[in-house]
């Protein structure tokens, strides 16, 4: 890493109508882990937003990736507008910058990773691990595109 490049704390959010998964990485971008799931079913949308912002603040997030659900051809899906609005609201709640990232196939990859580890997908959905894993997949892909670095 060059002398002028600073490390940033990056987190990822897998936005969903029922659950919102959160993942983060170490400042060097080497390890990625799921850290929390916010249940939207039990909370009003505004309460879920506050809960996600609280988790991100506790993590010291400086950059927050929000998954943007797009169709295979790159066009916006029905959920894209919701994710964009959530990202805008989240951006207004903290000192972090927001980056929308195509979340294509993150849930599928998250399921495959959990199955490979012998985790029941039924259990992973119930306890929110699948959403955290999807956020981790999103974050790992973003880091890999940048050579694994969190720096500016």
The pLDDT tens digits of the residues spanning 60-104 come to 999 999 999 998 888 898 889 999 999 999 999 999 999 999 987
Beta 63-68 vs 97-102: how paired, if at all? parallel
Tokens of 136: 């981790």
Contact 21, 130 (CB under 8 A): yes
Q: CATH assignment of 10-145?
A: 3.30.420.140
CA distances from 78 to 36, 48, 59, 96 (A): 25, 20, 30, 26
Q: What is the pLDDT of residue 148?
A: 67
126 or 25: whose pLDDT is higher? Answer: 25
Q: Tell me the Cα Rg of the chain.
A: 15
Q: Average pLDDT, whole number, for the chain?
A: 88
The pLDDT tens digits of the residues spanning 106-120 come to 888 888 888 899 888
Q: What is the pLDDT of residue 53?
A: 97
**What is this structure's pTM?**
0.87
Q: What is the pLDDT of residue 4?
A: 38
Rounded Cα gap, residues 124 and 114, in angstroms: 8
Q: What is the pLDDT of residue 124?
A: 81
Tokens of 63: 């950059």
Rounded Cα gap, residues 137 and 129, in angstroms: 12
pLDDT above 70 (res 6)? no
- What is the domain partition of the chain in residue ranges? 10-145
């Amino acid at each position: 890493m060059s002398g002028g490049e600073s490390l940033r704390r990056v987190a990822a959010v897998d936005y969903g109508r029922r659950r919102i998964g959160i993942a983060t990485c170490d400042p060097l971008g080497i390890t990625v882990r799921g850290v929390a799931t916010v249940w939207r079913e039990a909370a009003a949308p505004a309460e879920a937003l506050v809960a996600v912002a609280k988790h991100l603040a506790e993590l010291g997030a400086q950059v927050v990736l929000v998954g943007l659900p797009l169709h295979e051809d790159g066009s916006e899906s029905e959920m894209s507008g919701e994710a964009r609005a959530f990202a805008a609201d989240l951006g207004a709640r903290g000192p972090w910058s927001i980056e929308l990232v195509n979340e294509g196939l993150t849930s599928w990859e998250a399921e495959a990773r959990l199955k490979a580890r012998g985790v029941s997908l039924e259990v992973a959905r119930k306890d929110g691990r699948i959403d955290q894993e999807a956020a981790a997949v999103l974050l790992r892909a973003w880091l890999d595109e940048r050579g694994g670095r969190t720096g500016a």
